[in-house]
Every structure is written in structure tokens, then in C-alpha cells.
Amino acid sequence: MTTQHIALPTAQPADVGLCPERTQRLMDVLRREVASGKLPGAVAMVARRGKIALFEAVGQQDPATGTPMQTDSIFRIYSMTKPVVSVAVMMLVERGQLLLSDPVSRWLPEYANQQVATANGLEPVKQEATVQDLLRHTAGLTYEFLGDSAVQRQYAQVKIASRERTNAEFSQTLAGVPLQFQPGSMWGYSRATDVLGRLVEVVSGQSLGAFLQTEIFEPLGMVDTGFAVPPEQHHRIAEPFAHDPDGGVPMKVLEPRQVPAMEGGGGGLMSTAMDYSRFLQCLRNRGELNGMRLLGPHTVDFMTADHLGDIPVDGTLLPPGHSFGLGFAVRTHLGLSPVPGSVGLYYWGGIAGTTFFVDPALDMVAMLMIQAPNQRDYYRPLFRDLVYAALL
């Protein structure tokens, strides 16, 4: 990890169809939140037509030491790891190394003969989960922190969140726990992308970290992205408040200074606003950045299409007017949702508060990097409202 990479081109807000005053208001609101003691600090980025019109840091990188936030501060991006790993999987699909219709057990035999937990005990799966099911969270898996079902309690009992297992050991452990749903029957946000991380290893013959480094990070110039932060960059790590400003229990966040055994495909990466902007701009360009092509344009369109159709959604993570593609939530209706955005917009975020969205119809990419786990459900829609308000 170094700090040398080619920056994306910049523009004045008015030159790319953003109101200068309203763009500045976005930063004023973030400053207000920092001043009120609700937010340690933030980095905001808005780009249109391939040019960055807003890229600013506010507040503190580390509230314990008073270190100011920098635009190159390093954040735990948690589930913003999922789109990166989903792209890695689709790169392997494009190379003819696997099919989305492949049963997961073709590559990871531990997932053969799985059973589903029901009110009447265990029953066999009706149809095996496929690679597509993993990408769109319909593989019957769950997350231990999303509820208190018998399966979720088992995830907790086997310490499925441990970073001390390798990806191979994680996959074996997870496969030994029954499924929460029949594969293909329900959208349930889950550890599926962690399984995809192991799938990448088996299909590519490389560790997940090595594959991402050589196939995505190096080509895109993402020099500060990885599963741990090296010692010489520790001074750049953004930290949350030690005490939750709203009086809640502070969420224990990942320790980026330790190299984990598990390179978690669902939530293990650390990154910077500029690094992740490069990844997002590559997606916005339908798979290419600065002459480096990761995916064909039709593959990106396919990933950001609705892959659920009539499959019901478990929980409240997908807002009204949205569905899910291969690694992203996708907007299907102009209305219904409580936040603005064009049909075809795709987005996701991380549990510590980081969030992004890409709006192809408006040729816009935006991202907010914060470490405020318990306030994420407030800052995500707030940021979205402010960005759309700035459009001319």
C-alpha cells in the first residue's frame, strides 16, 4: 500500500450539472453533524460524467486523539467488500471458468446434501443453491446478527464471524449448519458473499486477497485497499467514537491492524474514498477505467439488473421500490422508496456507515465514508437526499 495513484479527473460542480451552493450545503450539513457530536468525521465524494465535483473531508479521523479526517483516511468498508468480490466472480464467469447455474457444491463439495431448518425439524433441499443464488442472496443462508432464529443462533454458537479461520475452514463450518430457507425461495441478506470468497479461491487457485490484488486492485490503481492495513499506514485509520453518541452500545469494529486468517469476501476489506471511487467509476463506465477493462459492458448491465423478480424479501434491508442484482441493491421504481434516485440506480453500504450509489441515468457516482455504526441508518438517506438536491 502506497499513496501513489492516478487521481480521477476533477471538475467544478457547475461544469457537471451540480449546483455549487447546494453541493456546498451537503458539506455544511456534515459539518453540522460533526459539530453536534453525532459524527466523528466523514469523507464525501460526488462525481458526474467521469469527473469528481466534490471530494472533501470533515471532522476527525480519530476522535480519541483529535487527528483531523483526511481525504486519504482508511476506512473499514465492511459490506462494500461484497460488490468487489461479486465482480471477481463475474470475471471468472467471463473467462469461462464457472457458470452462474453451477451448483455451489460443484466447486465446494461441503455444500452437497444440505438441509433446511423448518418448524418441523430438518428437511432436505429441494434444489441446490447455485452460484447465482450466492450472488443475489437467495442461497438459503443468513447472518447471525439479523435475528434470533434457530439457524442464526447456530451461526453464533459456531462463532461464524471469527476471523481466525481460513476461508476454507469458514466454508466447511458454515456448510455444517442447516439453511434458514430453501434455496431460491427467499431473498435473505447473508454470509453468501463470504462463500463466494472461498469459491474464487477454489476456481482461481489463488487466495482471495491475491486474486483481488492482481485482478482488481492493481489494474484500477487501488493502492490502499486490502484485508489489513500495513504498519506504515496505521496513522491513517479512521475510528468511530468509543462511546455511542446516542447512548447505544458501541459496536465492536474490525481491527484493521491485524492480518486475519479469513479474508472475508462479505465484509473484510479496508479502503479509502479515492480507491473505492476508482472501483465505482469502473462500474459506471460499464467495466473499464483508464484503459483497464475488468468486465464486459453487458456483464455490468446484467449484474445491476433485477435478479429477484417475484422472489419474496426477508427483512427490511431492501427498501420499497428496490430489488437485488448480483452484488448490489438495484432501484426498480422511481417512487415507493423514501429516498430519491433514478430507476437503474445501484448501491450498497457497510455496517460501520460507509455507503455508495451509482446512478447510470444521471452518470453520477457518490460515496460517503464514515465510521459511525449505530447512526448508519440516518446518514445514508441524509447523504442521498443532499446529493440529489444538488443536481441542476
Extract the C-alpha cell encoding 325: 442484482
Active-site residue flag, 79: yes
- State how far the Cα of 344 lies from the Cα of 321, in Å rounded to an integer: 11
Give the H or E element holding residue 367.
strand 364-369
Mode of pairing for the β-strands spanning 346-349 and 51-62: unpaired
255-259 — which CB contacts under 8 Å span 24+ positions? 256/74, 256/76, 256/228, 256/229, 257/228, 257/229, 257/231, 258/163, 258/228, 259/227, 259/228
Closest CA to 209 of 348, 83, 84, 80: 84
- State how far the Cα of 245 lies from the Cα of 241, in Å rounded to an integer: 8
Give the H or E element holding residue 323.
strand 322-324
- Catalytic member of 73, 79, 86, 190: 79
Cβ contacts of 65 within 8 Å, gap of 6 or more: none
Computed over its alpha carbons, how large is the radius of gyration of the chain?
A: 20
Mode of pairing for the β-strands spanning 75-76 and 355-359: unpaired
What stretches of 244-321 adopt beta strand conformation (E)? Answer: 270-271, 288-289, 292-293
Do 361 and 276 meet the contact criterion of CB atoms below 8 Å apart? Answer: no
Catalytic residues: 79
